[in-house]
Structure 1
Amino acid sequence: MPEIVGESLAKRLIAWDVDTIFGLPGDGINGLMEGFRRHAPELKFVLVHHEEAAAFMATGYAKATGRLGVCAATSGPGAIHLLNGLYDAKLDHVPVLAITGMQETSLLGSRYQQEVHLDRLYSDVADYNLMISNPQQMPGVVDLAIRNALTKKTVSHLTFPNDVQVAPVTEDPYRHPAPGAPPVGLPKLDRPQLPPGADELRAAAELLNGARKPVILVGVGALNARDEVIAVAEKLGAPVVKTLPGKAVVPDDHPVTTGGLGLLGTKPSEEAMEECDALLMVGTSFPYGKYLPQPGQARVVQIDSDPTLLGLRLPVEAPIAADAKSGLQGLLPLLRGGDGSFLAKYRKEMDTWRADMKALRDESRDPIAPQYLMGVIDDLAADDAILTCDSGTIATWSARHWTIRGDRRYYLSGNLATMAPGLPYAIAMQHAFPGRQVIAFVGDGGFAMLMAEFLTAVRHKLPIKVVINNNNAYGQILWEQIVLGYPEYAVRHHQPEADFASWARGCGAYGVKVTSPGNVADAVREALTHDGPALVDVDVNPNEPPMPGKVKYEQAKHFTEAFLRGQPHKAATVTTVVRDKISELRA
């Protein structure tokens, strides 16, 4: 049996230590599927129900493991469905290879069924983007695609016409020289770790040593530098503020951190940023400029392994092109240390904030408070649990009530902020880490988009735990309408409300519906200890506002104006807000 292009692709992926492909077959990739079949079980194909989920799974796999994520889809609509998940990978800087099919080369340009020129469609999302037109391009272009994805932390895309997929890999229809194929033992690549420059380190240290109120802002690029971040913070006496994707950099109960920044962040973090006279940014190019120091307020040091991100948000006096770990290791011996008064001030502020947040986890509140639901998960989950989350109000509850301790991890769509990745992320991460507890904390809106993938978890015997924060609405959009001064419109679902627990049981898994606060803890506990996939669908208060850590005057003004124009759930919302404030005052 001759080696076909599809098999050559499979062999090359295996040579790069790829062991899993997430995807959905179709006649546009049958030749590739044959190649994958010939090399099973070395190369496992995880069959999904929707191609968007396959791309999210590849992205989640890459985020959690640091390895290349791979997804595959057929030509036309299958490949189009991948795009949302691939943009998630691109914007959050993780390496993913997308493999798609294409019509036979002789049919291209003839308006054949499902003919979509994917190399053009993918030109924005994929850094390396190629349609294979000659078997002789194999396996060299596969190496180039993977190198680009790994070194640049981005998306690569290869699309294979049907006739090329099944052509013998030795076939040379054009008699043209092919690129040389590197040996199978090619060293695996990653972004080069740049040593920090001595002059850059001295300039940064001089700036930070002269500060009275320094703050450190850390992002996902600092996940491997926890000890170094804490050491620098303690030396400088600087509060550590965290981006949402960088939540796991420093444990949430550590005395140096003031938690997150931004709409989902904490009041102490926002106030520390408003007061600081120096800012050390590590592994982040935080996109929300209104939460950063005002121009002229603070001098800035930035450490990032990608030089193109240095100075992207603020003028940076002392840029350091290096990975977070080596940059901080080089900086630490040059720091003199501060008096600690600025950090001490915000430690007290954080004590108050934590007490306020704990007060909102009130079991007696009915309807169920989403803060209480997230607090129960936080209390009962393992110290090495992985939490995945969707976008929306649930991101607020998880950001504030999921505590990073031990080796816990936290993943969501950071920059794209798309709905629906929570479930596919959990599936991919459970596949990558079969011995760890993986929990998807998702909203009813996001779960409904890709709920068929829960059956994927059941079929692959992946014991994920899904907790649905069910407010029967698109909650974040609702509150954005109100803050902008509009009455709510078209954001709540009509009756009947969904019972996703029935779907879970129909899939042969554990499923329970919770409507009373007194049943939350037992239901979550049973799900976490269940030997297999489990789902808890919890009806929470639909009128619970995800208030910013520090409410601005304009936000309060728009909120009030919208209510004066007549919100349909005005009384219930006012009651909820008053209850929240009373709970905080009692803490």
Structure 2
Amino acid sequence: MQEIVGESLARRLVEWGVDTVFGLPGDGINGLMEGFRRQREKLNFVLVHHEEAAAFMATGYAKATGRLGVCAATSGPGAIHLLNGLYDAKLDHVPVLAITGMQETSVLGSHYQQEVHTPLLYQDVADAYNLMVTNPQQMPGVLDIAIRHALARRSVAHLSFPNDVQVAAAGEDPYRHVSPGEPPASSPVVSQPPVPATQVDLARAAEVLNAGKKIAMLVGVGARRARDEVLAVAEALGSPIVKTLSGKMVVPDDHPLTTGGLGLLGTRPSEELMEECDTLLMVGTSFPYGKYLPSPGQARVVQIDIDASLIGMRLPVDAAVTADAKLALQQLLPMLQARTDRAFLTRYQRESDAWRADMTALEDASRDPIAPQYLASCIDAAATSDAILTCDSGTIATWAARHWTIRGGREFYLSGNLATMAPGLPYAVAMQHAYPGRQVIAFVGDGGFAMLMAEFLTAVRHELPIKVIVNNNNSYGQILWEQIVLGYPEYAVRHRQPEADFAAWARACGGYGAKITDPKDLPGALREALAHPGPALVDCDVNPNEPPMPGKVKYDQAKHFTEAFLRGQPNKMATLATVARDKINELRS
């Protein structure tokens, strides 16, 4: 059978080491689907229910594996649906290739059905590479270029294929052009060695760090494979380790050197530490929330990042090191002077112990309605030591940040910089596909789950034993509290009755489903769900009036909170009762 362009694409993906494409067919990619069919023994196509989920799955796959994620969608609306998940990949710096369809070249420009110029539509999100293929002779060369750019720039590449090009004979040249040349016969997969730091940069960094008295480390997901090195450098410097939310898995949460997260979902000790330190070592992060970082002029800054364009974005940098985090820290460690004065570290270790005790006190099993902190703590207690937790954006991220403990080989993923709703479930599907032997748990809100809940059926159909825990407050909880913090009463953020029973949906799909309203039933239901051999879901009703309080409440936040109540905040008595109960539990800890 003559090879068509669709098959040339699929075959070359396999040669690059791609084993999975997430997507949804359509008449705009029938030629590509035929190519995938011809390579089905080597290239798995995971059929989804919504293209947004396909892009999230490709992004989650890339985040968890470090490899290229690939998604495919038809022309017009299918390509449009991919965008949210692709922006998640771009903003969190992971390599994803998006493949879309296009109308036949003969009708382009004639206002044809579903004629959307995807290269123009994608010109912002596909900043690694973006092209419409118009000649079979361009393949597989442009695919190689697109993949290289996605991997090198850790971002999104996009190729759009018109229908007539997809089914054309591979190598055909309808325009009698000069051939671009044959691609290499060998596999294009090349292992890229880590980038080392220069001695000049290292010497400057060591000079700044050795001169510091109150040193703090801020580590992000760019340091996820450098746990031992991060801990060794922190030990030498007598430095507490603060973690970004995306970098939560870099070091264990119960390690004595860490004070936990930073930002709205972070800890009080981490925030106070940033207000006091005179030297800051940033590794693998360009932390976007400048108000939580040291004031300009307060601290000297050393920043290590593989991407030079991300250095110095938030604070003036005294020493910039462009290198792989693990390798740079290995090189830097022998140049550091070990600290004997550990008073600064010791004080924040005491404060961290007190903070952890406060968080444990909020995990109250006697609360009715169920405290979301208790739900998160039950998941934490029941999960394996190498479990992968995926999470949505919203209040759910607060409970995961503070009550999901990184220990052993545990991992944690969410939409970091885009902070979009709905990736938790498709992330879990993709990561379970990539790691079939590991426990994968999606800890999601009812709002995010409802957006892409059909993908639970995808998990059932592909026999992926994901576990989904729904923190169900029947509202858009984070938006609710954001309205209040602005000083206005909440509006249009709670759903009317009846409340959804997502457990019934799980059972209808052929999975395990349990609806929990009584805290006494929660631990047992979670154990059953985690032990179930297939996909399982626990839908837990939690207190909708539980506020995701910041680590350190500012005066303006308290002022606006009060103003909202004075202006007629609904459910104010229930909210005040919840806040009072939280404070009583903290005082008892």
The letter of the residue matching 1:304 is: D
Partner of 1:351: 353
Aligned-residue offset at 1:182 = 2.8
Q: Which residue is equivalent to 1:298?
A: 299
Q: Aligned match of 1:541 in 540, 543, 558?
A: 543
* Residue number in structure 1 paired with 2:186: 185
Task: Determine if the alignment matches structure 1 residue 59 to structure 2 residue 59.
Answer: yes
Cα distance between partner residues in 1 of 2:61 and 2:185? 24
Aligned partner letter, 1:135: P
Shift of 1:504: 0.3
What is the rounded CA distance, in whole Å, between the counterparts of 1:515 and 1:181 in structure 2?
64
Residue by residue over 1:178-211, the C-alpha shift from the partner in whole angstroms, topping out at 9 and shown as x without a partner, is 3334314244246663211111111111111111
Q: 1:560-579 alignment to 2 at 5 Å?
A: 560-579=562-581
**1:150 has 2:130 as partner:** no
Confirm or deny that 1:8 pairs with 2:8: yes
Q: Give the direction of change, closer, same or farther, for the CA distance of 1:19–1:269 in structure 2 (3 Å limit).
A: same
2:478 paired residue number: 476
Q: For 2:218 and 2:157, locate their aligned partners in 1 and report how far apart those are by CA, in whole Å.
A: 30
CA RMSD of aligned residues (A): 0.8
Distance 1:187 1:207 in 2: 42
CA distance in 1, matches of 2:332, 2:430: 37
Amino acid at match of 1:218: V
Residue number in structure 1 paired with 2:427:
425
Task: Confirm or deny: 8 A CA contact 1:219 1:247 kept in the other structure.
Answer: yes
Structure 1-normalised TM-score? 0.99
Distance 1:88 1:435 in 2: 26
Query: What is the rounded CA distance, in whole Å, between the counterparts of 1:312 and 1:586 in structure 2?
Result: 42
Q: Which amino acid aligns with 1:118?
A: T
Q: 1:184 to 1:62 in 2, by over 3 A?
A: farther
Q: What CA deviation, in whole Å up to 9, does each residue of 1:260-281 have, x standing for no partner?
A: 0000000000000100000000
Q: Distance in 1 between matches of 2:129 and 2:192?
A: 16
Identity %: 76
Task: State the Cα deviation string for residues 304-324 of structure 1 (Å, max 9, x = none).
Answer: 010111111110010001110
Query: Which residues of 2 match residues 504-523 of structure 1 at below 5 A?
Result: 504-523=506-525
Match of 1:307 in 2: 308
Which of 381, 384, 402 aligns to 2:383? It is 381
- The equivalent of 1:237 in structure 2 is 238
SS of the equivalent of 2:499 reads coil
Alpha-carbon separation, structure 1, partners of 2:535 and 2:480: 31
CA distance in structure 2 between the aligned counterparts of 1:279 and 1:261, rounded to whole angstroms: 14
CA distance in 2, matches of 1:495, 1:189: 56
- Equivalent residues in 2 for 1:45-444 (5 A)? 45-126=45-126, 127-189=128-190, 193-338=194-339, 339-444=341-446
After TM superposition, which residue ranges in structure 1, 4 or more long, deviate above 6 angstroms? Answer: none
Aligned AA (1:363): A
What is the TM-score when the length of structure 2 is the normalising length?
0.99
Question: Matched residue of 2:317: which SS?
Answer: coil
Task: Indicate whether 1:467 and 2:469 are aligned.
Answer: yes
Letter of the 1:234 partner, please give it.
E
1:91 Cα deviation from its structure 2 partner:
0.3
Q: Distance in 2 between matches of 1:112 and 1:366?
A: 57
1-side partners of 2:94 and 2:190: how far apart? 14
What is the total number of aligned residue pairs between the two structures?
587
**C-alpha separation in 2, matches of 1:223 and 1:181:** 39
CA–CA separation in structure 2 for the residues paired with 1:154 and 1:185: 25
Structure-2 change in CA distance of 1:261 and 1:174 (3 Å): same
Question: 1:529 aligns to what?
Answer: 531
User: What stretches of structure 1 of length at least 5 have no aligned partner?
Assistant: none
Output the CA distance in 1 between the equivalents of 2:397 and 2:413: 10
CA contact (8 A) 2:15 2:188 kept: no
Could you tell me which runs of 5 or more consecutive residues in structure 2 were left unpaired when the two chains were aligned. Answer: none
Question: Comparing 30-39 with 183-192, which one deviates more in the overlay?
Answer: 183-192
Q: CA deviation at 1:449?
A: 0.2
Aligned to 2:420, what secondary structure does the other structure show? coil
Does the 8 A contact of 1:151 with 1:190 survive in 2? no
The residue type equivalent to 2:60 in the other structure is G
1:107-129 residue CA offsets vs partner (Å, 9 max, x unmatched): 00000000000010000000200
Equivalent residues of 2:15, 2:189 under 8 A apart: no
Contact 1:151/1:191 (8 A) holds in 2 = no
Amino acid at match of 1:132: V
Matched to 2:206, the amino acid is A
Contact 1:251–1:404 (Cα < 8 Å) also in 2: yes
Contact 1:150–1:189 under 8 Å retained in 2: no
Q: Secondary structure at the match of 1:273?
A: helix
Structure 2 letter corresponding to 1:83: L
Distance of 1:584 and 1:504 partners within structure 2: 36
8 Å contact from structure 1 (residues 62, 96) kept in 2: yes
